[in-house]
Amino acid sequence: MATSASTQHVARGASGAGAPVGGGRRQPRPRAGKLDMKLSPYLFISPFFILFFIVGLFPLAYTAFVSLHDWGLIAGQGDFVGLQNYLDVLTQPRFLTALRNTFSIFLLSSVPQVIAAIAIAAVLDQNIRAKTFWRMGVLLPYVVAPVAVSLIFSKIFADQSGLINELLGNIGIEPIRWHADPLSSHVAIATMVNFRWTGYNTLIFLAAMQAIPRDVYEAAIIDGAGRARTFFSVTIPMLRPTVIFVIVTSTIGGLQIFDEPRLFDQLGQGGADRQWMTLTMYLYELGWGPQKSFGRASAVAWILFLIIVIVGVINFSITRRIAAAGPTKGGKR
């Protein structure tokens, strides 16, 4: 009995000296541990924001500073001129021409690109043979270097010996002056852009389509909906968030187009009359051309930035309103 009592006493002493047993009170966490729990998430994401500040926000702010000065390539910072660089750029005929060309190429490339990407993604979402091969193959144009794409398509759309004009000549149609007519050059450049980026957007839409629950399609089939009705009444409405994302990203990329129009001919100046020169090409011409005015080039960069923000917000608001409207039936919600 004495041995048993002493054993119980030792056990109670050991349990009291260690961690609390059962429903005992928990000891408070040290202050350093609480601070670590609060700061560690910010430390994990801090590399992104530091890098974004170095290569994103700081160049943007510095460009705004340069745009307010008479800044040269060799002389460097000059006198403070305020908004004079912006006024000089906005009154230049080449700026208006570049603005027209940019929006023309943007509309001719972005709108057909989104429509074609949705259609191709719908085909690849079906149970077809070798679907992995086709899904990989649709991304192949995106992998090809822009220089190679531009060189190939510049030969296809050549004025004298191009493939398109050869085919048109075989059916009795006069050759098209792809490098002389503004609209024709815009169509050719937009074709290059669509060739490169349609597959990329197709995979984005395909991933969104595969995330749609299959029971939704089964319910539509039970209700008697055909493939076309299912596509427009089920697939498209459930793709609205993805459509908004693709439209916004296409707007940002389409208004910054540079590689394809610059490589469309050997001179890289946007044509003899600048008939396909974009805003980014005009920016490059101001910064590195005969004038070499970094102040005006920076002003063009900021004007382009504001245009992209405005157009992006407009596209986002329009597509979001369409998405919020939802499908209608009999003209009523």
Please name the residue ranges forming H helices in 53-90: 58-67, 84-90
Is residue 329 scored above 90 in pLDDT? Answer: no
Supply the pLDDT for residue 5: 47
The most confident of the ranges 72-86, 150-164, 251-265 is 251-265
In this model, does residue 73 exceed pLDDT 50?
yes
pLDDT > 70 in the chain, percent: 85
The predicted model gives 233-249 an average pLDDT of 88
| Half-sphere exposure (Cβ direction) of 134: Cα atoms closer than 13 Å | 14
Residue 171 has a pLDDT of: 86
Instruction: Report how far Cα 104 is from the mean position of its chain's Cα atoms.
Output: 18
Query: Residue 129: is its pLDDT beyond 80?
Result: yes
Q: What is the pLDDT of residue 194?
A: 92
CA distance 328 to 198: 30
Prediction pTM value = 0.79
Q: Which residues contact residue 78 at a Cβ distance below 8 angstroms, ignoring those fewer than 6 apart?
A: 69, 70, 71, 72, 295
Q: Is the pLDDT of residue 11 over 70?
A: no
**Mean pLDDT for all residues in the chain:** 83
CA distances in angstroms from 186 to 18, 63, 100, 308, listed in the order given: 79, 30, 11, 20
Radius of gyration of the chain (CA): 31
Sign for the CA dihedral angle at 84, 85, 91, 96 comes to: negative
Domains, in order of start, for the chain: 84-325 (1.10.3720.10)
pLDDT of residue 284 exceeding 80: yes
Name the phi and psi angles at 213, rounded to 5: -60, 140
Nearest C-alpha neighbor of 319 from the set 263, 251, 240, 258? 240
Query: In this predicted structure, what is the pLDDT of residue 42?
Result: 84
The tens digit of pLDDT for each residue in 289-312 reads 777 788 999 999 999 999 999 988
For position 326, what pLDDT does the model report?
56
| Alpha-carbon separation of residue 265 from 68, 108, 268 (angstroms) | 34, 20, 6
CA atoms of 228 and 234, how far apart (whole Å)? 10
Q: Measured on CA atoms in the order 252, 274, 197, 314, is the torsion positive or negative? A: positive
Which DSSP symbol is given to 175? P
Residue 105 tokens read as 């190429």
At 49, give phi and psi (nearest 5°). -70, -35
Beta-carbon-side half-sphere exposure of residue 304 (alpha carbons within 13 Å)? 30
- pLDDT at 26 (0 to 100): 59
Q: What is the mean pLDDT of residues 18-46?
A: 66
